[in-house]
Structure 1
């Protein structure tokens, strides 16, 4: 009897996990295992480069949006790709209800279910997928157009995405645009547990690029000036928590993410709507449902931890599917903050644990291409980000 693994989500975690199962586990149980990958996107969005990609001409669309299916052709009937979104899970029946992209509903029966549906930027900005490939690329092009037209841009949020976006825009446009970064804390990357020296270096580099830094305030209210465009952008008046006002041709609220778990039974979620996972990366209380990536609650929602989670979960599923359930080991979350920030191609810094990294190393490894040079191999299942497949 064929066993079925359903993987919900073909992003940074789900896609390479499916590749690993097909490469290494399927051959051990040939003709007895099928991997079904479900995603609303025909293309993988290399959104680690979105902070530079929003600048028109920085990257071609083909470098940022890569087709998913070609990389899976070698697996034949052991693989199925379904374009759609999960709507609900029936835990008792081991079924997940999916609505595919043409509106039809289907039920997928699973032996093992992996939830890897990731997260999205609050306010639905296209720094992550915002729906189908067509919807995402349309939204991305619209943002590029508004970036090009704007003379003043205000960014709220001093996490890695907000900081890198401010730096990339300032590096690209210089004095042609006014770039302002608003943050609730007294330094950048405060929520990321960055070393003071790392935060100070980033802030110094942002100032060199001409970014205006506004500390210890939040954007409390926004008001459209002159009405919003058809794609939702507008010249905006912003009221800050200290009573001051800012006006921007373009406002980018890059404040946190929300996980894509609306279809998951509430009993499986914590207060943040993240999956409650046990030490094996199983959903607590459900032996055949697993979570990986941003949807889980075992590690910070950072791309830097994804490789380790993929390697662990692939091994755990391999053990279960080959009848060696006792071989499922505990996952050990990283206790070392890993931060790699680039601000255009000229500036960069970071840290691993308590060690600050040399700027030239971060610029060389990440700043030149934002890893688009390895995107084809990643999506094609030939490598992980920083480990072999």
Structure 2
């Protein structure tokens, strides 16, 4: 009888995990079938979204890569791609309910279920997928047009996405646009727990690029004006420090929402993250696993994904073959890389700050878009062999 692994989500974690199982476990478990479920026909290389939101910088073909061609090399019957998303899980009967993109509902039985559905920006801006492939592309094009036309832009949220977006826009347009970054705390990247020397360099670089920094302020209210005498509408942003900033475009880039609403609440913590044991399994289950942003074991960062994929593929290999013991996951050493355009950047590994030139050379040149195709085709991980 076939052993079926259903993977929900074809993003940074779910897609390469499917390739890993088909490449390394299928030869040992000949009746293995991997079913990959996603509402997207294409993988969104959103690592580069902070630059792609600027018109003319990166093409759609560089940002969006088709998922299915990379799976064509595996034996017939070993892989199935389902275009849709999960609506409910029944752990007692080992069934996950799927609503396909065409509206048809179906149920998929599984021997093992992997939740890799990731997260979205709280504001639904297209820095991560916002629905189907077509919906995400349309949203990105709309934002590109808005950024291209705006003379003044206010960005709220000084985490990595907000910092990099402000830096990318400022580096690209120079003094042609007024860029303001709203920082809720005392300094940028406060929630990221980076070294003081790292955030100080980031703030200094942003200011070199002409970005205005407003610290210790949160957005309290937004008011959009009407279009008057042919002039584009303005947005008034009221801040907690009592001031009001007016801009052509407002980008709220703070907060994430996890794509775990279909998961029974008893498996979730107060943040909506899946509660995982040390093997990356849903606490209290034998055959449901979590990886990536949905879990509670690691920060919500792409830099930790390689290690999680390598671990979970090995654990599933053990579970499917019945050989060996399930090993515990060891969290990765903290890593952080931030770039602002092609010339400014910094980062750290553990307690060591990296040289800026190293970060800009490795990441800032092209935000890894040259590695996108082999990643999506299952030939390499980001920093490790497939």
TM-score, length of structure 1 as denominator length: 0.97
Between stretches 184-193 and 104-113, larger displacement belongs to 184-193
Q: Is the contact made by 1:194 and 1:337 (CA closer than 8 Å) also made in structure 2?
A: no
Distance in 2 between residues matched to 1:317 and 1:235, nearest whole Å: 53
Matched, 1:345 2:306: no
User: 1:239 Cα deviation (Å)?
Assistant: 0.5
Distance in 1 between residues matched to 2:87 and 2:272, nearest whole Å: 16
**1:367 matched residue in structure 2:** 364
**1:381 matched residue in structure 2:** 378
Distance in 2 between residues matched to 1:54 and 1:385, nearest whole Å: 23
User: 1:225 Cα deviation (Å)?
Assistant: 1.2
Matched, 1:254 2:245: no
Unpaired segments ≥5 residues, structure 1: 228-232
Q: Is the contact made by 1:234 and 1:250 (CA closer than 8 Å) also made in structure 2?
A: no
Aligned to 1:330, which of 324, 328, 331? 328
Distance in 1 between residues matched to 2:226 and 2:84, nearest whole Å: 37
Q: Secondary structure of 2:185's partner?
A: coil
Distance in 1 between residues matched to 2:90 and 2:137, nearest whole Å: 33
Distance in 2 between residues matched to 1:180 and 1:370, nearest whole Å: 23
**2:268 matched residue in structure 1:** 269
Q: Is the contact made by 1:279 and 1:330 (CA closer than 8 Å) also made in structure 2?
A: yes
1:287-323 per-residue CA deviation (whole Å, 9 max, x = no partner) reads: 1000000000111101110000000000000000001
User: 1:234 Cα deviation (Å)?
Assistant: 5.9
Q: Secondary structure of 1:10's partner?
A: coil
**1:230 matched residue in structure 2:** none
RMSD between superposed Cα atoms in Å = 1.0
Distance in 2 between residues matched to 1:298 and 1:235, nearest whole Å: 42
Distance in 2 between residues matched to 1:380 and 1:353, nearest whole Å: 31
Distance in 2 between residues matched to 1:255 and 1:308, nearest whole Å: 26
TM-score, length of structure 2 as denominator length: 0.97
**1:98 matched residue in structure 2:** 98
**2:305 matched residue in structure 1:** 306
Q: Secondary structure of 2:145's partner?
A: helix
Q: Is the contact made by 1:166 and 1:181 (CA closer than 8 Å) also made in structure 2?
A: yes
Question: How many pairs are equivalent?
Answer: 381
1:188-219 per-residue CA deviation (whole Å, 9 max, x = no partner) reads: 11111111111111111100100000101101
Q: Secondary structure of 1:123's partner?
A: coil
Distance in 1 between residues matched to 2:261 and 2:84, nearest whole Å: 15
Unpaired segments ≥5 residues, structure 2: none
**2:314 matched residue in structure 1:** 315
**2:193 matched residue in structure 1:** 193
Between stretches 291-300 and 218-227, larger displacement belongs to 218-227
